[in-house]
Homo-oligomer: A and B are copies of this chain.
Amino acid sequence: MPRWDPEGETRLREAALELFLERGYDSVTVAQITEKAGLTRRTFSRYFADKRDVLFAGSDELPGVIADGIRAANAEASPMDAVLAALDGVAERLATQASIAAQRQAVVRTSPDLQERALTKFAAATDAASAALRDRGVPASTAALLAQVALAIFRTAFSRWLEDPAEASLRDRVHESAVELSGSLSAANVKH
């Protein structure tokens, strides 16, 4: 086994997800994961704190990636354009991860604890997006509204993408969801 293994993280994640789905999340041990991946506990610890971290390591980055994307957007971009540019950035990072993301979602659905952790993650991403919008001069209350809507768009796009990753990219699903929401609001009796 090579000491340096750029594929180690992916192999461990794949092994863990397979085991979680086969045997149930609660009953799987880190030893079983490393054995299945053909890697050591030391390698596991290089990438993950514990077995729950295998599921959430990626989403830990979500708040930072969204916030950075909003801050990095063109200074002239409207707040919602900055949000959509940030979601494009997230979509790009996840572009090749559909299969892992779908398995991960299936595991999370088996456990109320994991679902609650996922909700907390979304709340953290919403807060980060809201703070980044305020940094662009968006008033606090509007920033909070647009941040919540950004996450709603992203979650919708993500579910649609996972249903059929070959049909459209996550990025396309983000734009499709934003267009749909915009259309729903325009069709409503809301004057502005």
Contacts and interface: CB of A to CB of B under 8 A. Distances in A.
Contact of A181 (B123, B149, B177, B179): B149
Contacts of A191: 179
Give the interface residue-count category, chain A.
35 or more
Given A123-B119, A149-B181, A155-B148, A188 B142 contact: no
Contacts of A151: 148
Interface of A: 78-81, 83-84, 116, 119, 123, 141-142, 144-146, 148-149, 151-153, 155-156, 159-160, 175, 177-192
Contacts of A189: 78, 81, 84
A149 B152 contact: yes
A79 to B, nearest CB: 6
